[in-house]
């Protein structure tokens, strides 16, 4: 897996990532566990860097020892080990295992400061039961995606009120309106009126926890 990072200070970045991945190779790359990291001078980016490795805890330990903030999860993604990393350079990483066989259902990661209130809200909106885990996290399984709720303080680098969870609904535009109405009925704000295109309806709502949701529903191809 090749990862290219645009960083404003290559020397500083190289020093940090060498402490995680080991010495820089002759071609200027850093390598470890099937990941090749290359640094390019340029404007920083806020995207989460997602990598799959054979030994998740080994790499979480390396990042942590180098000064990164690490959060570990062992009960999500059907029991797979995951880790969120915020490194000292401001980059965020999602580190998970290489998976063989069926791919786990996708998840929408929602970081909140009040886990109990958030669990009650999302369970009511989506009309689904919540599954709680030992590490103070909650999973709500929908038809094709799962909500992963995680408790955090506002000083957590992963806490981003206003970040947009995008949930694409299968079915008709009417499904989108129904869900938007449930959001609003339980305290969310309608940010934009429903927008109807030839085969799609879009609605944006802001939930009580500051997260913006982009909801969309599509007509079946034969309609």
Torsional sign, CA 32, 75, 125, 120: negative
Q: Closest Cα to residue 210, out of 126, 100, 139, 114?
A: 114
Torsional sign, CA 205, 90, 56, 39: positive
- Domains of the chain are 1-102 (3.10.180.10), 166-218 (3.10.180.10)
pTM: 0.56
pLDDT tens digits for range 184-207: 999 999 887 766 665 667 788 888
- What is the predicted pLDDT for the residue at 62? 93
Contact of 89 with 68, CB cutoff 8 Å:
no
């Amino acid at each position: 897996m090749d990862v290219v990072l645009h960083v404003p200070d290559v020397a500083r970045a190289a020093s940090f990532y060498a402490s995680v991945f080991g010495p820089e190779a002759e071609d200027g790359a850093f390598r470890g566990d099937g990941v090749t990291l290359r640094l390019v001078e340029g404007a920083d980016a806020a995207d989460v860097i997602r990598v799959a490795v054979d030994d998740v805890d080994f790499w979480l330990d390396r990042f942590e020892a180098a000064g990164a903030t690490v959060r570990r999860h062992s009960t999500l993604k059907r029991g797979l080990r995951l880790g969120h990393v915020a490194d000292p350079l401001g980059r965020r990483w999602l580190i998970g295992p290489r998976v063989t066989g069926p791919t786990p259902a996708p998840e929408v990661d929602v970081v909140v400061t009040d886990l109990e209130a958030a669990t009650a809200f999302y369970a009511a909106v989506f009309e689904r039961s919540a599954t709680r885990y030992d590490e103070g996290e909650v999973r709500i399984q929908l038809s094709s995606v799962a909500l992963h709720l995680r408790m955090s303080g506002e000083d957590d680098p992963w806490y981003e009120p206003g970040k947009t969870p995008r949930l694409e609904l299968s079915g008709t535009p009417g499904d989108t309106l129904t869900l938007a109405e449930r959001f609003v009925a339980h305290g969310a704000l309608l940010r934009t009126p429903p927008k109807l295109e030839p085969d799609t309806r879009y609605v944006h709502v802001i939930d009580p926890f500051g997260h913006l949701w982009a909801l969309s529903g599509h007509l079946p191809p034969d309609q």
